[in-house]
Homo-oligomer: A and B are copies of this chain.
Amino acid sequence: MSGFLDARPRVGYFYTGKDSNQLIKEQVNKKIVKDYKAQPIVISESSSVYDGICTLFLEDVGTLFVVNNMGHLAGVVSRKDLLRAALGKQNLTDIPISIIMTRMPNIITCTAEESLLEAAKKLIDYQIDSLPVVRAVQNGNRTVFEVIGRVTKTTITKGFVEFGNEVTI
């Protein structure tokens, strides 16, 4: 039923010892990244900063994931990175996006199996807006990452709203 009372044959209902704090924690921990992740917006490492800005507006996202020619995660570019680049005097079509991106292995990622709570903590702790959801792949003796989704503060905000609207146990 509610999680507070449990039933045992020949005993009847008994108090499970959980208070509502614990139940809420359990509910929060049940939310898994794979059920909430959005589509990742990726751009090729060989694109220009100008291409990046266009993609950002066209796809209406805050962060782009940069992939190499094998399709593996190479970097992350934020709106602030693009804004900083746009302030310079250079022609934006001449600057490769790979120059301004945050590069592997300095990228904070999450997996589809992680809890949404773990992902939310990473967003806060590392002061970032977006996490690529990745799957590790062996490439010879190196581990590389395929991008299979994104978790942003928007994702978490939607999760929060869901709590207030309807929670199913």
Q: A86-B86, A120-B160 are in contact. Are A57 and B28 (CB under 8 A)?
A: no
A142 on interface, CB distance cutoff 8 Å: no
Q: Give the segment of A17-25, A40-48, A68-76, A96-104 that binds chain B.
A: A17-25
Q: Is there a chain B Cβ closer than 8 Å to A5's Cβ?
A: yes
Contact in complex: B20, A158 (CB < 8 Å): no
Number of interface residues of A (CB under 8 A): 54
State whether the Cβ of A27 lies closer than 8 Å to any Cβ in chain B. Answer: yes
* A interface: dominant SS: helix
Which residues of B are found within 8 Å of A82, using beta-carbon distances? 83
A123 close to B (CB within 8 Å): yes
Chain A positions 6-39 with a Cβ under 8 Å from a chain B Cβ: 15, 18-21, 23-25, 27-29
- Residue in contact with A120 in the complex, picked from B18, B86, B87, B161, CB distance below 8 Å: B161
B-side contacts of A60, CB under 8 Å: 127
Partner of A83, one of B53, B116, B117, B167: B53
Chain B's closest residue to A121 (CB) is B161
